[in-house]
Amino acid sequence: MGILFEDEELRGMSKEMLDRGMIVETAWLGFRHFMLPANVSEDELKVLRMTFFCGAKCLFDSLQYITDVKDRMTKLEAELGQWDAYMREKGGRTRQ
């Protein structure tokens, strides 16, 4: 997994975080960097971060109930593919 930042400092920070096992925190950093405007208030950031982590926890818990690992990834890839298509249609930035 990798988040591709153009900024060398962010790229180094994300690699270090991933190396330390901070997968969701690194994804949050990427989401914040690519999707949120610079003028988001601290209160909004707290709520958005909590929401982001709740979504990650929900996804993790849901995947625990699917016993076939390949089936898990196939379903997840299909759902995220739909999300990517939706975001492209709306003009949002998505993973490449």
Q: How confident is the model at residue 49 (pLDDT cuts 50, 70, 90)?
A: very high
Q: How confident is the model at residue 1 (pLDDT cuts 50, 70, 90)?
A: very low
pTM: predicted TM-score of the whole model, two decimal places: 0.65
pLDDT averaged over every residue in the chain = 81
Per-residue pLDDT, 6: 64
d(CA 39, CA 70): 41
**Domain spans of the chain, in order of start:** 1-65, 66-96
Q: Reply yes or no on whether the pLDDT at 10 is more than 80.
A: no
CA 73 to chain centre: 16
Q: Which amino acid is at 21?
A: G
DSSP per residue over 14-68, as a string?
HHHHHHTT-HHHHHHHHHHHHHS-TT--HHHHHHHHHHHHHHHHHHHHHHHT---
- Are 34 and 8 in contact, with CB atoms under 8 Å apart? no
Q: Reply yes or no on whether the pLDDT at 94 is more than 60.
A: no
Tens digit of each residue's pLDDT (9 = 90 or more) over 68-82: 777 777 888 888 888
